[in-house]
Every structure is written in structure tokens, then in C-alpha cells.
Structure 1
Amino acid sequence: MSIELLDRGSLVDGGATSATEAVGSTEGLLGRIGNLETRLARNDREIDAAQAVRYRVFVEEMNAQIAPDAARRKRDVDAWDAVCDHLLVVDRSLEGDAEDQIVGTYRLLRHEVARAHGGFYSASEFAVNELMARHPGKRFMELGRSCVLPEYRTKRTVELLWQGCWAYALMHRADAMFGCGSFPGIRPEEHALALSFLHHNAVARGEWAVKALPELYREMDLMPVEAVNPRKALSAMPPLIKGYLRLGAMVGEGAVVDHAFNTTDVLIVLPISSISDRYRNYYGADAGRFAS
């Protein structure tokens, strides 16, 4: 489970300045809207604070099951935390130190780092290694563990997270992004309309095709195409998945039930070349230079 818990707002529906305009000359920032800023975590204290935010959302709100030691510490922690970069949304208007101001987070894992440390998180659910083998010259990056505190689930927070991801992708010259997008609950049939819409309209084909692992594969083709009302299907979809579709993303074939996190996952696949010029211009084509 990964990029699913931004319950309100849209990934790309207006309201934010471009990363170029937002950052200006302020060192280390990837974006700013009002009192909210996005940047990478600078130290272990900030990573710990991001893990505490994840615990509040995934465990206290969504009833995820985590290791007993992590539960005692009230932190959502796994082995990937040590090798990932942690994108933060910080509310500078809150009192306290920087780690007290973290209200949202995204975990970013680059291809070369994953290769050196045992692979990508999503590979435990989807055949991403086969996908990458078809693109030996391309750089992939994984987006994961996205969450935002309830009172900050607004359009501008989602905008900031995407600005940060876009700047990071440019800085590291990524060719494609992917990650698990999730529906709440472990019964795919409860999301038959949205999953069927994705199956009929957004499944990656050809060189970008990727499937759920055979032992975990759950059908997404739960309704015939003629029974799927696109407007209602999009309305029933988690906003972050819908936002990625607007950017030009595709989804893998087959869903996976994640019992530990109480979600039904699909794989989002977004080649950088598929992002329209409209959104490239919106977020700032040279945003990567502000992440240096």
C-alpha cells in the first residue's frame, strides 16, 4: 500500500503556483503555497516525525497491522525507510521545531538505490522487475507511503506533494514513476465500478504492461464495459488515483489485496513522456534545479 490516503482534493486541479514560481531562491525548498512548504527530510528526527504521521494515518485511522515494536513506538517503520528519501509537507505556521510542523509525507526510492538494496517495495505485489527488464536504459523511481493528516487533506497539500515529486524526478532524470495506489478495504468487489473502469480504459499495454504477481492476482474486470458509467466510476475513485490518470498514468493488470494495510492495491505506472505539456508547464519544466 502506498499512494492512496489523500482523501480530498485533486492531484492536478489548479491552485498551486509552478515549482519554479513557488520556490524562488529559497534553498532546499521544492514548493510553497501559503504557509505550507514541501522539501526532503534533512535528518533522522524529521524522518522519525514522518513515521509518526504515517502511524497516525495508517494505524490509528486505517487500522493497519504493523510490527509490535513499531506499534509500541507509535511509528510506521520498515526496512525501506533507511534507503528512501522522505518528501515532507511542512506547515510553517505551527509552533515548535521543524519536526513538529510535518503534516504530510511521501517516500521516494530511486532505481539505482533500490537495485543496491534489495529492490522496490512494489515488487512484493507486482511484477515490476519484468517491467524494468523491458526498459534497461530507463531510470525508474517509486512513490510510496503517501499520507496527510486529516485536517490538511486539501487540494493545495496534494499539489505540493506532486510538485516535490516532479522536482525530484527531474533532478534525478527519472524516465518513469510507479507505485501502489490503493482503495480502502480488502474486498475488490466493493470497488467493482472503479476497478472495471480502470481495467477497460487504463491498463498498461505493450512495453509498459505489468501484472500483479500470480499468487496475489485479483480480477479488476468485474463489470462488462457497457455497464460502466465513466462519470460515476471516476467519482468513486480515490482522488490520488484519479489525479494520476489525468497526468497520463496507466495501471497494471490485476489488483492485490493487502491484508496488513486493509487495502486493495493497483499499480500506477507513469512514464515521464506521457505527462502532457499542460502539466509540465504548470509545474515548471525546470523545477529540478531547485532540488539541488
Structure 2
Amino acid sequence: MRDLPLPTLPFSDLRPSEASRRSLPVAPQGDAVAPSRARFHVGWARSEEEVRQAQRLRYRVFVEEMGARLSVPKHAPVGHDVDIFDPFCEHLLVRLMDADGQPGEVIGTYRVLTPEAARRAGGLYTETEFDLTRLRSLRPRMVELGRSCVHPEHRNGGAIMALWGALTEFMVRNDLDTMIGCASISMRDGGHYAASIWKQLEDRHMADIEWQVRPRLPLPVDELRQDLTVEPPPLIKGYLRCGARVLGRPAWDPDFNTADLPMMMRINDLPARYRRHFLGGDL
């Protein structure tokens, strides 16, 4: 397995369309995001340097901002968040358009592990935290989303909506229907916030029992406060608005000092307004 990520296109017969490299407005009309004239350019990384740009943003957010302790492969460059799954993933980038209408710095990213790439990688990152046995039947059309982050100056909703639009178009074009991944919750308060979020979501947003999974290192929610009046992080709230479901109890990730919720979002569960925005009402 390679230590350093290399350009991963072509997509093992998966191809993003021109639509996935378009410039997008900040959000669909009617969504509660801050007013902005900023526009975003969304595209897939086509070179090692573009992957490096995503990894530098991830380092800034996860290490410098959140205090994560990374275990990076040998020879990984300083100031980059790199792991062994990166060489197998497709990296989606959102850039802020500059004054001349040209794509500028990377201000948001997702990485995507397709079914074929997961077979080459020997599994999913999520499997390091959860037993995914019950999802076996979904895997031929299931992708894993991970390492999502947005620059702190651009967290008004526009960048993440631009990323989601490109992801949804990619899924539909390639006959994929399920997205899974870990949604992280800070544990800077010792875990009480995360346990209280879990309690809220357990009551209202759980997946059917047939899809529920088990954490390998569970967050000890029964030893933590679960009665705090708190709001889920914006990313989790966004997933829930798009019809996502929680697959089980949170895992504890000591390296990132987070509680990780396993979540699943299916294309057929997208509410009508998001289908119209992302797909032009084609579904």
C-alpha cells in the first residue's frame, strides 16, 4: 500500500460529469444561511498537489483547530493530514472564486471511497470504528464519505451545500444510492455534550434495526450527562435535514478527541426540495 496519495483518477469506470466541476451559488433559495455573493467552484482532485491542498486544509481544521493527534504514514509531509485510505479515495474540493472569477484556495473538502476502491483498500475507514456486518447487502452501491471539513471563515452553509450538490450528482450518475460515514462531535467538555446529542438523536433519528451497527470502542454514554439542552453540530443538522439516519451508538475516537456517530444517507430519502436543488427534480 502506498504511503503517499497519488492522483486517483480515472475513477475505476466512475466518471464525474461537467456538472460536478461547475461553479455553484452558496445555497438553495430558502435555506437559512448567511447572505453572501460568494460563489464556489467544485471539482475532483486531478493531481497529487490538489490532494495535498485538501490535506493541508484538513490539518488546519483537525489538528490546529480541534487538537487531533495524527498517526501519519512514514514520509508524509509536515502540516498535512494523511492516512492510508487517501490513495484509494477520490477527493472533492470546493474553492472560493477570486475577484477575476478564477478558482482560488481550497476552502472545503470531502473524500469519497467508492465500492471498488474499498475492495482495493481492504475495507472502509468506518470499519475501524464500527462493526458494519449488517450493511453487507448495501455495499455494492454504497460509498463512504469522510474527512469533511470547511475553512473556519466559510462555515455559513454555502461551501457544504456546494459539496453536497456535487456528491449527489456523482452518486446518481454512477448508480450509487447509499452514503455512510462518521459524523464527529467534540469531546472537549469530557463527552457530556456528545452524550446529550446522542440521547436526542436516539429518540428521533435512528435507522431501522436491520441497518444498526455497533461501535468497537463505545463512548460510555451511560456514565455521562445526557440531559444538556444542546444543538447538534451544523454538519449533523444538515445531514438530518437531508434525510440521514443514525446507525447506532457513538464510538470514541481518542486521537481526534471526538465522539463519532455512524450515519447513513440514501438518495431516495432526500426531501423534495433538496432533490430539486441538487438534481433539478430528476428523481
TM-score range, shorter chain: 0.7 to 0.9
Counterpart of 1:102 (choices 98, 101, 106) is 106
Alpha-carbon distance in structure 1 between the residues aligned to 2:184 and 2:152: 17
Q: What is the match of residue 237 of structure 1?
A: 232
Between the aligned residues of both structures, percent identity stands at 34
1:175 CA drift (Å): 1.7
CA contact (8 A) 1:65 1:261 kept: yes
Query: How many residue pairs get matched?
Result: 252
Whether 2:36 is the aligned partner of 1:35: answer: no
Q: What is the match of residue 94 of structure 2?
A: 89
CA offset digits 1:21-74 (Å, max 9, x no partner)? xxxx96761451243111111211110111111111111111111237678611
Q: What is the match of residue 271 of structure 1?
A: 266
CA contact (8 A) 1:196 1:222 kept: no
What is the DSSP-based 3-state SS (H/G/I as helix, E as strand, rest coil) of the residue aligned with 2:144?
Answer: strand
Whether 2:149 is the aligned partner of 1:154: answer: no
Alpha-carbon distance in structure 2 between the residues aligned to 1:199 and 1:222: 16
1:287 CA drift (Å): 8.2
CA contact (8 A) 1:192 1:222 kept: no
Question: What letter is aligned with 1:80?
Answer: F
Q: Which has the higher helix share?
A: 1
Q: What is the match of residue 187 of structure 2?
A: 185
Q: When the two structures are superposed, what TM-score results if normalisation uses the length of structure 1?
A: 0.77
Whether 2:215 is the aligned partner of 1:212: answer: yes
CA contact (8 A) 1:83 1:117 kept: yes
CA contact (8 A) 2:88 2:120 kept: no
1:1-40 correspondence runs (5 A)? 29-33=21-25, 34-40=38-44
Flag the 1:243–1:252 CA change in 2: closer, same or farther, 3 A: same
Moved over 3 A (4+): 25-28, 67-72, 219-224, 285-288
CA contact (8 A) 2:192 2:224 kept: no
Whether 2:192 is the aligned partner of 1:197: answer: no
Question: What letter is aligned with 1:32?
Answer: L
Counterpart of 2:53 (choices 21, 46, 49) is 49
Question: What letter is aligned with 1:161?
Answer: L
CA contact (8 A) 1:199 1:220 kept: no
Question: How well do the aligned residues superpose, as a CA RMSD in angstroms?
Answer: 2.8
Q: Which has the higher contact order (CA 8 A, sep 6+)?
A: 1
1:263 CA drift (Å): 0.9
Alpha-carbon distance in structure 2 between the residues aligned to 1:65 and 1:71: 14
CA contact (8 A) 1:30 1:163 kept: no
1:171-182 correspondence runs (5 A)? 171-182=173-184
Whether 2:120 is the aligned partner of 1:125: answer: no
CA contact (8 A) 2:187 2:259 kept: yes
1:279 CA drift (Å): 1.8
Q: What is the match of residue 145 of structure 1?
A: 147
Flag the 1:286–1:79 CA change in 2: closer, same or farther, 3 A: farther
Structure 2, gaps ≥5 residues long: 1-16, 26-37
Counterpart of 1:246 (choices 241, 247, 264) is 241
1:61-100 correspondence runs (5 A)? 61-67=65-71, 73-93=78-98
1:242 CA drift (Å): 1.0
Flag the 1:242–1:217 CA change in 2: closer, same or farther, 3 A: same
Alpha-carbon distance in structure 2 between the residues aligned to 1:124 and 1:252: 15
Q: What is the match of residue 13 of structure 1?
A: none
Alpha-carbon distance in structure 1 between the residues aligned to 2:141 and 2:58: 27
Alpha-carbon distance in structure 2 between the residues aligned to 1:71 and 1:44: 13
Alpha-carbon distance in structure 2 between the residues aligned to 1:198 and 1:70: 41
Structure 1, gaps ≥5 residues long: 1-24
What is the DSSP-based 3-state SS (H/G/I as helix, E as strand, rest coil) of the residue aligned with 1:79?
Answer: coil
Question: What letter is aligned with 1:90?
Answer: R
1:133 CA drift (Å): 1.8
What is the DSSP-based 3-state SS (H/G/I as helix, E as strand, rest coil) of the residue aligned with 2:21?
Answer: coil
Q: What is the match of residue 6 of structure 1?
A: none
